[in-house]
Amino acid sequence: MSDAAPTAPERSPLRKLWDEVGTFAVAVLLALSIRAFVIEPYRIPSESMLPTLLIGDHLFVNKFTYGVKLPFTDYRLPALREPARGDVVVFNVVRDARGNIFPVDQHPELPRDQFVKRLIGLPGDEIEVRAGDLFVNGARVEREDTGQTFEDKDHRMLRVGRENLGGVVHAVLDEPRITGPELRPTKLPEGRYLMMGDNRDLSNDSRIWGTIRLADMKGPAFVLYWSWDWDGPWIELLNPIQWWTLLTQHTRYDRIGNWIH
């Protein structure tokens, strides 16, 4: 009788492949699932939400707050809560070849883009913007001048105001030399939401291209996970020497981890 140890059965080619890439595949699937159903990153590309959000801020969007949207449909799972006035929301719009913006449901055939704005108007609200003042259901939204200024990338000196939007107190900017987009008294239809940037006179928002649906909202932005004032080509990130410059000269460490109000 032989005392040799029994040999393990030979693995099939598919088993060998799974042993090699299975862990990686599970990790990728988990990451994609988190992005699709839990949180999603977003980078701020413009100044429309100054001073709340700066160009180069990187934030997380909470995708299950308004109910996770099922892929390839307009249906959502049960929400934690409804969208609220004052939320900072990432949402989809569409853009034509000339750069014109439209709500998704007006031209679903066009390429999609993502915006971030503050939710101003809820279904059934009457919203008006006149001479720089915001009115919600006939009442002027309280705003005070802080006496501070904010310099944007084009070296414009903007006045900083403090707005109380139904209990949500946040900063807004005013360009004293121009009047921003206005909006005649408009009653929002059922299921439609009106979005505006905090940089009120220099924001491309619902005053120009209209309202959006809940189905087009990704969710509320809730925290900054990274921030830098660098806007160079991504190819530069392949140079390790550039990493030190970014980390020491261009990273805004004081903003990392800040909650978004």
* Model confidence pLDDT, tens digit, residues 30-39: 444 445 557 8
Domain boundaries, the chain: 18-139+179-251
- Marked catalytic residue, from 48, 203, 206, 227: 48
Average pLDDT over residues 118-136: 97
Identify the CA nearest to 139 among candidates 172, 164, 109, 176: 164
Element (H, E) at 158: strand 157-165
Annotation marks residue 117 as catalytic:
yes
| Residues found in the chain | 261
pLDDT cut 90: percent of the chain above it = 70
Q: Which of 8-22, 40-54, 104-118, 228-242 has the lowest mean pLDDT?
A: 8-22
How much is the mean pLDDT over the chain?
88
As given in the structure block, the two tokens for residue 47 are: 């100044």
Q: How far apart are CA 260 and CA 114, in angstroms?
A: 18
CB atoms near residue 193 (< 10 Å): 24
Identify the CA nearest to 66 among candidates 133, 119, 104, 130: 119
Could you tell me if 165 and 198 are in contact, meaning their C-beta atoms sit under 8 angstroms apart? Answer: no
pTM summary value: 0.84
Query: 193-245, pLDDT tens digit by residue?
Result: 999 999 999 999 999 999 999 999 999 999 999 999 987 777 777 888 888 88
Average pLDDT over residues 83-99: 97
Query: 160-191, pLDDT tens digit by residue?
Result: 999 999 899 999 999 999 989 999 999 999 99
As given in the structure block, the two tokens for residue 96 are: 């034509």
pLDDT at 84 over 80: yes
| DSSP 8-state code for residue 7 | P
Half-sphere exposure of 79 (CA within 13 A, CB side): 18
Q: How far apart are CA 222 and CA 72, in angstroms?
A: 25
Identify the CA nearest to 42 among candidates 30, 53, 26, 27: 53
Report the amino acid identity of residue 113. D
As given in the structure block, the two tokens for residue 139 are: 């009442």
Could you tell me the CATH superfamily of domain 18-139+179-251? Umud Fragment, subunit A (2.10.109.10)
- Marked catalytic residue, from 2, 16, 63, 117: 117
Per-residue pLDDT, 185: 98
Annotation marks residue 153 as catalytic:
no
